[in-house]
Chain A
Amino acid sequence: MALLEIRDLSKVYQRDAQRIPVFEGINLNIVAGEFLVLMGPSGSGKTTLLNLVAGLDEPTTGTIRVSGAEVTAMSRRDLAAWRSHHVGFIFQLYNLLPVLTAYQNIELPLLLTHLSKQDRREHVMTALEVVGLSDRADHYPRQLSGGQEQRVAIARAIVSDPTLILADEPTGDLDAQSAQDVLTLMQRLNDEYNKTILLVTHDQRAADRGHAIMHLDKGVLTG
């Protein structure tokens, strides 16, 4: 059974009288433990698709199910709760809160749980260990390199052990070496921790790390 099921999904933006379709009638299945890469030119709707899967945007038509739960039917409130448990999001520009340390940034999703402070600490330290930054727990984002920031962002994405990791161009702002480190880390998350990953990228080297590559172009998804 697929972990992620997308059925007849379409997204159309309406600007005044103008109808701007991003994509229409998309269908996609991702099974648990899969590492799927989504490629396509700029403006093809990759990020929009990612946002829809994360419940950050509403589709015009169609349904999205994750682990049987229909994301597209949830209220804003339920979506927030669902996201905190089931989705880990990795951004291109890391999006760490500059006023929080690496530790505090990673702890953010855990604040939404009922874990005690001690339990939260254990989870955060484990996540830091996984991304190889245990010694940078007290560092602020400005004290970290781009690659380290992205690894902290990955730790934040995995700390609550989500069902699905969504990564939007995670290497797009990194130098070649840091990009490779981040991709290796993501591959490890998939291989060792069986994390299901949907990665959006322009980078063929990044795409090569996935199990399968799909292309989204002119509103059509091809595998």
Chain B
Amino acid sequence: MKYGHLIWVNLTRNKRRTILTALSVAAALFLFVALRSVNTTLNDAREVGSESRMVTRNAISIVFQLPEAYYGWLSSLPGVRRVTWGNWFHGIYRGNPRDFFASFGVDVDSYFEVYPELVVPEDQKQAFMRERTAAMVGTGLMERYGWRLGQTINLTSMIYSPVTEWPFTIRAVYTPLPGWTDEAFYFHYDYLSEMTEWAQPGWYVLQLDDSSHAATVAATIDEHYKNSRFATRTETERAFQTGMVSMYGNVGFLMNAVGLAVFFAILLVAANTMMMAARERTSEVAVLKTLGFSDRLLFGLVIAEAAAITLAGGLLGVFGAKLLFEGTGFQGAGFLPGFAVKMSTAGLGMLIALLLGLFSGLVPAWQAARLPVAHTLRRVV
């Protein structure tokens, strides 16, 4: 640490440049951490679904619906304990597409039976089930819009009658389970069905007696409907979640590609800063060598200086992102439930900051180490 002061004074000799470089590293790592967290959140989402629940959807795509008539046959299948269904409403609040969150019409009676893990106060649950225009809302969404129990709000559906406002009364507030979104909006499928002519179940969820029968049940269902107008695809809820995630495309590749591009862009910025800083101090490096500072020591000092800048930027970007996302409870409008900057992501971000420092300092450090003293002093003295 006896060289700490030397590093510090060099860092602060051009404060503006140092701060701007650290901020550019911070911005880049903020972006990296955000992108990486989207990735990890989506990957985690694959793990949320249950193995004993199966989802049957239209074989073509989730955007195509299935007939209500399927409910009866699915319920009668051996090994299937209970069936429920849901429909994607694509609701927006205040007519503003930015005020968007996940909204579903569900069969309320069966839904609570298939999802007993939903944490809702019993009185609120009963109130929600009793009233056709009632809604059950996650705690995060309630907080986001400052809604209160009993409040009537209007949503517009981007699928069903976009010009019509649908009034809902909030009768229940659920507390999310780990990995579940706290920004979802549930209402009665019956209400949806009543208000539109063509709403059908978007998917069925089947609660099995035994998860080991999943493959048999899936094969039976899909075989049964294979030649119908509405062929099905049945898979475990976990596989369904994976399928949903894959609808985002190859997010992992995209995120990694953007992250890599950001890394190289910022590497050039940091390297340029260090090159400029080192070039300005060429004569001082020569003097230090005259005093007996070794090549290795000077190499280390330049690297340490570069690493200090990028690590400071890293701390700001990585933990700034962590604090910001966790402080605001960001969940990507309900599409990224449980969104969080994991410590492993933060650690990776800091490792990248360190690598940025090492790589950006490499060339100027090498130049400082190999500086020909006599030649440099001749130019200075």
Tell me the chain A residues, 31-66 only, with Cβ under 8 Å from chain B.
Answer: 47-48, 51, 54, 56-57
Q: Is the CB of A95 within 8 A of B292?
A: no
A77 within 8 A of B: yes
Q: Is A174 an interface residue (CB 8 A)?
A: no
Task: From B288, B291, B292, B374, give the contact of A57 (CB < 8 A).
Answer: B374
Residues in B286-332 with C-beta less than 8 Å from chain A: 287-297
Give min CB distance, A94 to chain B, whole Å.
10
Residue of A nearest to B2 (CB): A111
Residue contact B9 to A99, C-beta cutoff 8 Å: yes
B221 close to A (CB within 8 Å): no
Interface residue from A81, A91, A99, A156 paired with B377 (Cβ < 8 Å): A91
Complex: A112 Cα to B298 Cα, angstroms: 12
User: Contact at B378–A83, with CB atoms within 8 Å?
Assistant: no
Interface centre among B5, B283, B294 (most CB of A within 10 A): B294
Pairwise interchain contact B291-A81, C-beta atoms closer than 8 A: no
- Is the C-beta of A10 less than 8 angstroms from some C-beta in chain B? no
Q: A83-B291, A112-B291 are in contact. Are A93 and B2 (CB under 8 A)?
A: no
Cβ–Cβ contact A84 & B295, under 8 A? no
**A109-B381 CB under 8 A given contacts A48-B374, A95-B287, A99-B9:** no
User: Do the beta carbons of B291 and A56 come within 8 Å of each other?
Assistant: no
Interface residue tally of chain B, by bracket? 20 to 34
Of all chain A residues, which has the CB nearest B369? A76
Q: What's the Cα separation between A84 and B287 when bound, in Å?
A: 12
Q: Are B374 and A80 in contact (CB under 8 A)?
A: no
Partner of B374, one of A51, A82, A87: A51
Q: Does B159 contact A (CB under 8 A)?
A: no
Asked if A26 is at the interface (CB within 8 A of a chain B CB), the reply is no
When the two chains form their complex, are residues A47 and B295 in contact, meaning their CB atoms are under 8 A apart? no
A100 at the interface (CB under 8 A from B): yes
Interface majority SS (helix, strand, loop, mixed), chain B: helix
Contact status of A56 and B295, CB under 8 A, knowing A47-B381, A97-B284: no
Q: How far is the CA of A169 from the CA of B9 in the complex (A)?
A: 29
| Most B-side CB within 10 Å, residue of A76, A99, A168 | A99
Contacts of A76 in B (CB 8 A): 294-295
Q: Does A117 contact B (CB under 8 A)?
A: yes
Please determine whether B13 and A99 come into contact, CB atoms closer than 8 angstroms. Answer: yes
In Å, the complex CA distance between A54 and B378 comes to 14
Does A134 reach chain B (CB closer than 8 Å)?
A: no
Closest approach, in angstroms, between the C-beta of A14 and any C-beta of chain B? 14
Partner of A56, one of B9, B13, B296, B377: B377
Select one of A47, A84, A87, A169 contacting B378, CB under 8 A.
Answer: A47
Chain A residues within 8 Å of chain B by Cβ, number: 32
Question: Which A residues are in CB contact (< 8 Å) with B380?
Answer: 93, 95
A56 touches B290 (CB 8 A): yes
Residue of B nearest to A112 (CB): B292
Q: A92 at the A/B interface (Cβ < 8 Å)? A: yes
Chain A residues positioned under 8 Å from B288 (CB to CB): 108
With A47-B378, A47-B381, A92-B381 already in contact, the answer to whether A112 and B293 are too (CB < 8 A) is: yes
Our pick among A47, A80, A92 for the contact of B293 (Cβ within 8 Å) is A80
Interface string of B348-381 (1 = CB under 8 A from A): 0000000000000000000000000110011011
User: In the complex, are the beta carbons of A99 and B290 less than 8 A apart?
Assistant: no
Least Cβ distance of B367 to chain A in Å? 15
CB contacts (< 8 Å) of A156 on chain B: these are 291
- Asked if B3 CB lies within 8 Å of chain A CBs, one says yes
* A91 with B2: CB separation less than 8 A: no
A152–B128 Cα gap in the complex (Å)?
83
Cβ contact of B291, chosen from A47, A51, A109, cutoff 8 A:
A109
Instruction: Give a binary string over B26-47; 1 marks a CB under 8 Å from any A CB, 0 the rest.
Output: 0000000000000000000000
Contact partners of A117 in chain B: CB under 8 A: 2
**Across the interface, do B289 and A80 meet the contact criterion of CB distance under 8 Å?**
yes
Is B139 in contact with chain A by the CB < 8 A criterion? no
Tell me if A104 counts as interface (CB < 8 A to partner B): yes
Alpha-carbon distance A48/B378, docked complex (angstroms): 9
Q: Does A89 contact B (CB under 8 A)?
A: yes
B10 touches A (CB below 8 Å):
yes
Are B373's CB and A108's CB within 8 A?
no
Are B283 and A95 in contact, CB atoms less than 8 angstroms apart? yes
Q: A51-B377, A99-B10, A117-B2 are in contact. Are A80 and B284 (CB under 8 A)?
A: no
User: CA separation between A134 and B287, bound complex, in Å?
Assistant: 23
User: In the assembled complex, which residues on chain A have CB atoms less than 8 Å from the CB atom of B291?
Assistant: 83-84, 89, 108-109, 112, 156
A100 to B8 alpha-carbon distance, docked (Å): 11
How many angstroms from the CA of A112 to the CA of B296 in the assembled complex? 12
A136 CB contacts on chain B under 8 angstroms: none
Q: List 10 A-B contacts (CB under 8 A).
A: A47-B378, A51-B377, A80-B297, A81-B292, A85-B292, A87-B290, A95-B284, A95-B381, A111-B2, A112-B291
- Name B residues whose Cβ lies closer than 8 Å to a Cβ of A: 2-3, 5-6, 9-10, 12-13, 283-284, 287-297, 373-374, 377-378, 380-381
Q: A84-B291, A109-B291 are known contacts; what are 6 more A-B pairs with Cβ within 8 Å?
A: A51-B374, A56-B373, A57-B374, A77-B296, A100-B6, A156-B291
